């Protein structure tokens, strides 16, 4: 079975009693890797979670809850990427600078021999500049080594006590909602998070993104379907966005979710990572 091969991969990495830190964002991939690894060799496993204005509050709450449940050795860090000028400019390789700051902070603040990430083989089909930062920092990717995709991860989550989270939707960092080339700011990130939280209260279990685009705000629904959003709900969301961002209501649009729709490499400012 696949999880047995993943077990072998992880134990092989820890074969020399190497202290390993798992970078946990709070999404299903990283919390599954952390939980599974910690069940195998708890004395050799650290868990690192970075907090910032770009990390959804619900992700941090999830990590803290799981740390108590599974007795993780948890480190809460601030990688301070928001103060990195290269990150703040929001170039199309922004994720490189985010991960570079994260891995450098882990190495500086935690005694560790290895760092694991929750990257899986599905991620290899997407543009992931953070993988370059991972390569330069010698990060290991057990899910990739074990040929795990997102479906495999969700199945494993159900096996190891993460049933409550096995079906949670993907939730990339809040900076991914901001169109490439528009500077990242704490105020903008905080506004986006408030709007998404308010929408989830209004429409429970919704999978939604508040995209800050160059000339408008685009509220994208993955679920429920955009056709199922009532006019009353749309009006409440429009008023909320208007009050938070002070943007004209005619610039607030609704659409179906489209992955990477705030990512525009043609206008992005590439900053050399070397």
> Mean pLDDT across the chain, nearest whole number?
94
Q: Determine how β-strand 217-223 pairs with β-strand 207-212.
A: antiparallel
Tens digits of residue pLDDT in 10-22: 999 999 899 999 9
pLDDT score for 272: 46
Mean pLDDT of 205-226: 94
Tens digits of residue pLDDT in 21-49: 999 999 999 999 999 999 999 999 999 99
Structure-block tokens of residue 175: 């900076």
Instruction: Provide CATH 3.40.50.620 ranges for the chain.
Output: 2-159
- pTM to 2 decimal places: 0.93
Q: Give SS3 for 138.
A: coil
Q: Does 261 or 256 have the greater pLDDT score? A: 256
Tens digits of residue pLDDT in 100-148: 999 999 999 999 999 999 999 999 988 899 999 999 999 999 999 999 9
Where are any strands of DSSP class E within 81-168? 114-116
pLDDT score for 191: 97
| Contacting residues for 182 by C-beta, under 8 A, at least 6 apart | 90, 212, 214
Residue with token string 């083989």 = 121
Tens digits of residue pLDDT in 49-78: 999 999 999 999 999 999 999 999 999 999
Query: What kind of fold does domain 2-159 have according to CATH?
Result: Rossmann fold (3.40.50)
Instruction: Provide CATH 3.30.70 ranges for the chain.
Output: 174-256
Q: Per-residue confidence at 218, pLDDT binned at 50, 70, 90?
A: very high
Q: Per-residue confidence at 266, pLDDT binned at 50, 70, 90?
A: low
pLDDT score for 215: 78
Query: What kind of fold does domain 174-256 have according to CATH?
Result: Alpha-Beta Plaits (3.30.70)
């Amino acid at each position: 079975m696949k999880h047995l091969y993943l077990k072998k991969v992880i134990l092989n990495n820890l074969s020399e009693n190497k202290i390993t830190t798992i970078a946990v964002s709070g999404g299903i991939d990283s919390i599954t890797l952390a939980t599974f690894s910690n069940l195998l060799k708890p004395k050799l496993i650290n868990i690192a979670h970075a907090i910032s204005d770009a990390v959804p509050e619900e992700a941090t709450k999830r990590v803290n809850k799981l740390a108590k449940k599974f007795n993780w050795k948890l480190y809460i860090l601030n990688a301070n990427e928001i103060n990195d000028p290269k990150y703040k400019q929001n170039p199309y390789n922004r994720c490189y600078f985010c991960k570079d700051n994260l891995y450098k902070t882990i190495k500086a603040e935690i005694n560790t021999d290895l760092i694991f990430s929750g990257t899986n083989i599905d991620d290899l089909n997407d543009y992931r500049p953070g993988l370059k930062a991972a390569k330069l920092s010698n990060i290991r990717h057990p899910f990739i080594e074990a040929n795990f995709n997102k479906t495999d991860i969700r199945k494993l989550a159900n096996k190891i006590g993460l049933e409550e989270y096995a079906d949670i939707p993907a939730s990339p960092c809040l900076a991914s909602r901001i169109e490439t080339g528009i500077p990242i700011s704490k105020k903008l990130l905080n506004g986006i998070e408030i709007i998404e939280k308010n929408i989830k209260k209004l429409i429970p279990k919704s999978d939604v993104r508040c995209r800050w685009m160059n000339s408008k705000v685009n509220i994208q629904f993955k679920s429920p379907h955009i056709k199922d959003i009532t006019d009353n709900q749309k009006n409440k969301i429009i008023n909320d966005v208007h009050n938070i961002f002070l943007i004209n209501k005619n610039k607030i649009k609704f659409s179906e979710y489209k992955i990477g729709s705030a990512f525009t490499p043609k206008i992005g400012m590439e900053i050399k990572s070397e």
